[in-house]
Amino acid sequence: MEEGGPPVSMIQAQVDGYGVEIERTFFLGNIPEKAKKPFEVMFNARSLAYDLLKPGVVMSEIDKKVRKFINEQGYGDFLLHRTGHGLGITGHEAPFIAEGYDHELEPNMLISIEPGIYIPNIGGFRHSDTVLITEDGYMKLTKAPEELEDLIILII
């Protein structure tokens, strides 16, 4: 890891036999100027995904809208994976918030939301949380810093 960064840090665990995860992009000592715009695009793509979460929404449509947004911001070449995935006994499993996965969100589904941008020689930009789909929306089950200024790890 280098000063500035950003590295993406991931924690995966099992809770009562089921997978959960939380991931964050952190900065070491400072936020490099070249990292600010891709972080903002990732953060806004993530917000867009959250705005779309509710029962009845087709999962591929969420991914399509998030990808379109990232493409429009000029970072489409730096997408490496889907917007999210299911969490179950194996951790990463269906349902998938992904292109071609045309199933609807349903109450009690446990998913991740994690659009990511990965730029060679700059870094990775991804926040992931464990999310429960509720009767009328969602509940984020993991809690960690999210805003840019809260993600700096001091170097002593």
Cα–Cα distance between 90 and 122 in angstroms, integer?
31
- Is this model's pTM higher than 0.75 or not? yes
pLDDT in tens, 116-143: 999 998 999 999 999 999 999 999 999 9
Q: How confident is the model at residue 1 (pLDDT cuts 50, 70, 90)?
A: low
Cβ(105)–Cβ(136) below 8 Å: no
β-pairing verdict for 110-113 and 129-133: antiparallel
Cα–Cα distance between 91 and 110 in angstroms, integer?
10
**Domain ranges within the chain, ordered by starting residue:** 8-145
pLDDT over 90 (residue 2): no
pLDDT at 54: 97
**Residue 114 has which token pair?**
């994690």
CATH of 8-145, one of 3.30.70.270, 3.30.2320.50, 3.10.28.10, 3.90.230.10: 3.90.230.10
pLDDT at 79: 94
pLDDT at 155: 86
pLDDT in tens, 61-117: 999 999 999 999 999 999 999 999 999 887 778 899 999 999 999 999 999 999 999
Residues 6+ apart with CB under 8 A from 30: 3, 4, 152
**Residue 18 has which token pair?**
């089921």
pLDDT in tens, 15-37: 888 888 889 999 999 999 999 99
- As a whole number, the mean pLDDT across the chain is 92
